[in-house]
Amino acid sequence: MITSLSIKNFALIDQLTIDFTSGLSIITGETGAGKSIILGALGLVLGKRADLSSLKNAEEKCVIEAHFEISKYNLKGFFEAHDLDYEEETIIRREILPSGKSRAFINDSPANLQELQELSLYLIDIHSQQQTQELSEEEVQFKIIDAIAANSFELGKYQEVLKHFKSEKTTLNALLKKQGEAIKEQEYNSFLLEELLAAKLSDGEQEQLEEDFERLNNVETIKEAIEKSILIANEDEIGALHHLKEIKTTLQRIAPFGTKYQELLERINSVLIEFDDISLELNQQAEMLLNDPEKLEYTNQKLQLIYTLQKKHQVKTVAELLSIQEQLDQSLVSIGNLETEIENLQESISNHESELNALAAIIHNKREAALPALTEKLTVILEKLGMPNVRFQITLTLGTTYFNNGKDALQFLFSANKGGDFGLLKKVASGGEMSRIMLAVKAILAQYSKLPTLIFDEIDTGVSGEIAIRMGEIMKQMSATMQVFAITHLPQIAAKGDSHFKVAKTTLGETTSSELRLLSVDERVLEIAQMLSGTAVSESALNHAKALLN
């Protein structure tokens, strides 16, 4: 429950600190006095977004701090999961700086808005007039039924599976599209791959073929040059080899006469050995050199094939062609892998679908089982609230569509009058009837939820007199197990409170401020009397106020 609220520099409030107790707390005040400001400040603590217009003084920061007693609500797990310090009296603080930046703290640990919003779900339910209108929406009606059916675990599991199911369906559609595109390209890619494979390319092959082509294409010129070189090297008496040997013999005679001559001898000897090896190589090349038109033609054809493939694939080397060949091969393999991936995904989707169907059936059955209790409880409470002939016709149909909360279609029909036709809430229920139905719903939900605090913001719209007294009694009963706040204009409801706060607006010079304060017993009598008769309080109004309070 909330134990205190401190507000500084927010809207019309300069500074305010107020303590709260358990039970039923009443908040009253004239229209425009600032009741919505209190709710707005509380909303900021619970994670709503803020802007600079919230600041009363734009040059100072706004600070809103709320204290909550949470020892009975098993929230240690939440704090551990979000790495926050757990305190039985938890303090949530929100600061809005003049720069427009906003900061939030939970027990002095920095927190983000999402964490505030998640924590608020365990702390406070603020019922607004808008919520009363939302009662006619199917999503809200399902939440009511599921709370009574205790479907929280099954819905959480269902939504988790549904998330995977939808994600896999999206992935499957993308893969099927990819597969369709791949199949269109497969035939052409297969042709390109077969063309490259048929070429039987190898890295470095082009350079060797080009060398072979030049040799075979110029065999006569090469042969003539080699034969002439052999002749010059080996011709008797005038050949180069003969002269080198002559030089060696001459140097051998003078080598003993100095190191320089010895070095020259060694060098000429090296030249002679190298030249002799060259001569031998020339003879070998001459023997190997053959005029081979068939090999020349093969070499030329292979080169032309390589050049054609390079031009086709816009590359310059055989290595690049081999890389393209590997890529094409992989693309064809990936299509096979794609088919396997699609099959595995389809199997997973089918398993998730079966799991969703099973969970949806459990959720449906639990809802069906809860409907009689919901209808009976609503009828009993609403009879007390002046609707003796109220009837509900709630039907669930298990369909085939996977909604976020199961597979059920819901028809929530209502009739307020005996013999009247059933109709949708938003079409046949009046404003006063909607207010009473919403209070009945909240009273029922309070029996099933462990929410510590519930705030009613003018839930009494459209009712008065004896009905208002009974609404107040229901709120009083609810406050036995939870902290309840009621913002009201009705004295009958105000009189039921354990404590009574008044919001008032004052003007001093050019400045207008709002304040919230706890009323004493006498002040409370006067406040209720004014709610009964207006500003001019009569003796009968005071007596009526005392009677209501007693």
107 in the same domain as 5: yes
pLDDT at 349: 94
Q: Clarify whether residues 119 and 205 are in a common domain.
A: no
**Hunting for tokens 């080996």 — which residue is that?**
234
The residues near 30 (Cβ < 8 Å, ≥ 6 apart) are: 504, 505
Q: 301 is written with which tokens?
A: 């054809």
For residue 128, the SS3 value is: coil
Say how far apart CA 148 and CA 302 lie, in whole Å. Answer: 82
Q: Three-state SS for 498?
A: coil
Taking the C-alpha atoms of residue 31 and residue 89, their distance in angstroms, rounded to an integer, is 33
Which pair of structure tokens corresponds to residue 390? 């109220």
The answer as to whether 208 is a domain residue is yes
Q: Has residue 476 been placed in a domain?
A: yes
Q: 73 and 18, same structural domain?
A: yes
Asked, for residue 299, whether it belongs to a domain, the answer is yes
Does residue 70 sit in the same domain as residue 91?
yes
Residue with tokens 């205190």: 4
Task: Say if residue 109 is in the same domain as residue 212.
Answer: no
d(CA 208, CA 66): 86
Residues 504 and 480 in one domain: yes
User: Looking at beta carbons, which pairs linking 181-187 to residues 24 or more positions away fall under 8 Å?
Assistant: 182/331, 182/334, 182/335, 182/338, 183/335, 185/331, 186/332, 186/335
Q: Which of 293, 311, 337 is the last residue of a domain?
A: 337
CATH number for 17 = 3.40.50.300
Q: What burial class does residue 377 get, using C-beta atoms within 10 Å of its C-beta: 0-12 exposed, 13-18 middle, 19+ buried?
A: middle
Regarding whether 217 and 123 lie in a shared domain, the answer is: no
**Within-domain flag for 355:** no
Claim to verify: residue 115 and residue 227 sit in the same structural domain: no
Structural domain includes residue 170: no
pTM of the full structure: 0.66
Q: Where are the alpha helices (DSSP H) in 255-317?
A: 259-288, 293-313
Please indicate, yes or no, whether residues 279 and 208 belong to a single structural domain of this protein. Answer: yes
Same domain, 328 and 232: yes
Q: What angle do CA 240, 245, 249 make, to 5 degrees?
A: 150
Token output for 63: 């600070």
Helix (H, G, I), strand (E, B) or coil at 536: coil
In DSSP notation, 513-533 reads: EEEEEE--HHHHHHHHHHHHH
User: What is the distance in angstroms between the CA of the first residue and the CA of the last residue of the chain?
Assistant: 27
H or E stretch at 25? strand 24-28
Q: Which of 448, 383, 414, 406 is nearest to 125 (CA)?
A: 448
The pair of three-digit structure tokens given for residue 182, joined into one six-digit string: 């791949």
Last-in-domain residue among 307, 337, 367: 337
pLDDT (tens, 9 = 90+) of the chain, 550 residues, equals: 999 999 998 888 888 899 999 999 999 988 777 788 888 889 999 988 887 777 888 888 999 999 999 988 889 999 999 999 999 999 999 998 888 888 999 999 999 999 999 999 889 988 877 777 778 888 889 988 998 999 989 999 999 999 999 999 999 998 888 878 777 777 677 777 788 888 888 888 888 888 778 777 777 787 778 778 877 777 766 778 778 888 888 888 888 888 888 898 889 889 888 888 888 888 887 777 767 778 778 888 888 888 888 888 888 888 888 888 888 777 665 666 778 889 999 999 999 999 999 999 999 999 999 999 999 999 999 998 988 899 999 999 999 999 999 999 999 999 988 878 888 888 888 888 888 888 899 888 888 877 789 999 888 877 878 888 999 999 999 998 899 999 998 999 999 999 999 998 887 777 778 888 999 999 999 999 999 888 788 889 999 999 988 8
Three-state DSSP string of 91-108: EEEEEECCCCCEEEEECC
67 and 49, same domain (yes or no): yes
Domain range for residue 328?
178-337
Strand partners, 17: 6
Token match 């009741």: residue? 35
Question: How many structural domains is the chain composed of?
Answer: 3
Burial class (CB in 10 A: 0-12, 13-18, 19+), 317: middle
Contact status, residue 448 vs residue 148, Cβ threshold 8 Å: yes
Shared-domain flag, residues 244 and 312: yes
Predicted pLDDT of residue 360 = 95
- For residue 220, the model assigns a pLDDT of 78
Q: Quick check: is 300 in a domain?
A: yes
Domain-located, residue 435: no
Q: Is residue 379 part of a domain?
A: no
